Amino acid sequence: MIKRRELDQGLGDMQRLLVEMGRRVERALTESMDALKSLDVLEARRIIASDSELNAMEMQITEIGAKLMATQQPVAKDLRNILAGLKISSDLERMGDLAVDIAKVVLRLEGQQLIKPLIDLPKLAEMVCSMISGSVRSYLEQNVDLAYKLDKDDHEVDALYSQILSELFAMMAKDPAVISQSMLLCFVGRYIERIGDHATNIGESTVYLVTGKRPDLNT
């Protein structure tokens, strides 16, 4: 018979680490966008350096998951909990990488002026930040409704993202001198939008954890 105490403790540790990862990813996105707005290279370097902590947390979660599977032979919801946790941690780790990619854009813009004040990109980032916290909350509270809401949020993110692209493409067409920076800003939009996609993945993991079904929230 399964020793519930070790299993429950391991699942609890995994959950705490995931929530902490979610908090850090949200912060990394907010801070990298602030660094972009002010073209703060020092801050960007700090953000890039701190990504290793997220990677370490993902490793820790993988180890806990592997240990629980090897020693506790979890089944049913316990098994789904571990599988969902592993998947969520790798989504969060990728989200952290994408925040780092934004910070790297700041480094490439060193010494330049922004071609336009940034309004829509920070707005996009804000929407995605709330998707991150919503996705982690859906997992923590095992709330399927919150998970499904992410699909709707993602559509809004996609719409704003394509609007941003159109605007930047128009600027490039008008003035070839802004092409290189515009391209970088397009990439930033893409990175933020990708983070949103990973948040919907977390929603999918939540639905799997709760119901055992695998929905597609990234439609």
Partner 1 sequence: MQALIEIERLNLFYGSFHALKNISMDIPEKAITAFIGPSGCGKSTLLRSLNRMNDMIPGTSTHGSIKIAGADIYGKDIDVEALRKNVGMVFQQPNPFPKSIYDNVAYGPRLHGITSRHKLDEIVESSLRGAALWNEVKDHLKRSALSLSGGQQQRLCIARALAVEPDVLLMDEATSALDPISTLKIEELAQELKAKYTIVMVTHNMHQAARVSNQTVFFLNGEVVEYAETEKLFSNPQDQRTEDYISGRFG
Residues that bind partner 1 (CB under 8 A): 1-4, 7, 73-80, 211-212
Angle between helices 41-72 and 76-108 (to 10 degrees): 160
Cβ pair 145, 102 in contact under 8 A: no
Measured from the CB atom, the residue of 7 and 92 that comes closer to partner 1 is: 7
Q: How far is the CB of 136 from partner 1 (least distance, A)?
A: 23
Please name the residues in contact with 11: beta carbons below 8 A apart, sequence gap of 6 or more.
68, 78, 81, 82, 85
- Residue with Cβ nearer partner 1 (5 or 174): 5
State in angstroms the smallest separation of the CB of 5 from partner 1.
10
Whichever of 42 and 76 has its CB closer to partner 1, that residue is 76
The token pair that represents 3 in the structure block: 């020793």
With CA atoms as reference, report the closest residue to 154 among 198, 121, 93.
198
Nearer to partner 1, 57 or 207 (CB): 207
Q: Which is nearer to partner 1, 133 or 142 (CB)?
A: 142
SS (H, E, C) 131-166: HHHHHHHHHHCCCHHHHHHHHHHHHHHHHHHHHHHH
Helix runs in the chain, H state only: 4-38, 41-72, 76-108, 120-140, 144-174, 179-211
Please state the closest distance from residue 138 (CB atom) to partner 1, in A. Answer: 19
Q: Report in angstroms how near the CB of residue 160 gets to partner 1 at its nearest.
A: 37
Q: How far is the CB of 69 from partner 1 (least distance, A)?
A: 12
Smallest separation, CB 18 to partner 1 (Å): 20
Closest CB to partner 1 among 42 and 75? 75
The answer to whether the CB of 14 falls within 8 A of the CB of 79 is no
Q: Any idea what DSSP says for residue 111?
A: T
